[in-house]
Amino acid sequence: MGETMGELRIKGRALPIVDSAGVPIDDIDTDQIYHNAHLAVTEISEMGRYAFGNLKGWQDFPKNVKPCDILLVARNFGAGSSRQHAVDCFRALGVGAILGESFGAIYKRNAINSGFPILEVPSLRSVVLPPGDLIEVDFLSGEIIRVVNGALLARAIPFSSVQLDIFRVGGLFAYGKEASLRAKIE
């Protein structure tokens, strides 16, 4: 499917993050996403191998995820600390986006600042998809489409204008540099 940075519409396999009974897991915290035992790892490219290493039943996630996969998560995903590793581990693996019912406030801010696409989908729990089903997500309209039949599955809250600008340039630092350059020109 290719690199997602800057693309406003992506396709990828849907990967619902559920428990052994198939129930969406609420309140997955940053320690479950990326255990604090690995915080000494500073290279983003090395962080992927530890994604979900502390989430029961998901320890093999790094071996099974494919570039551009789209994670479907439940309520309050990324609760807890301000651990940037919990965003960067998914970037390292090439995850295309995370769609969630809601996100922890700090996690959401870290993802947006990194230019990593996350979208809130309040009705996500009602979407029933087999794992691996191909979906398409439009970051501007919020539409989530099942590719096989073109059905509209749900609508996410689309990117805000600031989130869109940060995403387009690849992160908050690039966004700040661009704004600074524009200010010098004006």
CATH number at residue 93: 3.20.19.10
Within-domain flag for 4:
no
Mean pLDDT confidence for 104-132: 93
Write down the H helix ranges in the chain. Answer: 30-33, 44-47, 61-64, 85-93, 105-113, 161-169, 172-185
Contact 104, 80 (CB under 8 A): yes
Flag whether 3 is in a domain. no
State how many domains the chain has.
1
Quick one: which of 78, 84, 130 has its CA closest to 99? 78
What tens digit of pLDDT does each residue of 147-159 get?
999 999 999 999 9
The pLDDT value recorded for residue 67 is 95
Contacts of 63 (CB under 8 A, 6+ apart): none
Is residue 94 in some structural domain?
Answer: yes
pLDDT at 3 over 60: no
Question: Which residues does 21 contact at the CB level (< 8 Å), separation at least 6?
Answer: none
Alpha-carbon dihedral 70, 77, 166, 136, rounded to 10 degrees = 20
Taking a C-beta distance cutoff of 8 angstroms, is the pair 78, 86 a contact? yes
- Calculate mean pLDDT across residues 174-184: 68
Q: Is the pTM of this model over 0.85?
A: yes
pLDDT, tens digit, 9 for 90 and up, residues 13-40: 999 999 999 999 999 999 999 999 999 9
Domain limits for position 60: 9-185
**pLDDT tens, position by position, 63-115:** 999 999 999 999 999 999 889 999 999 999 999 999 999 999 999 999 999 99
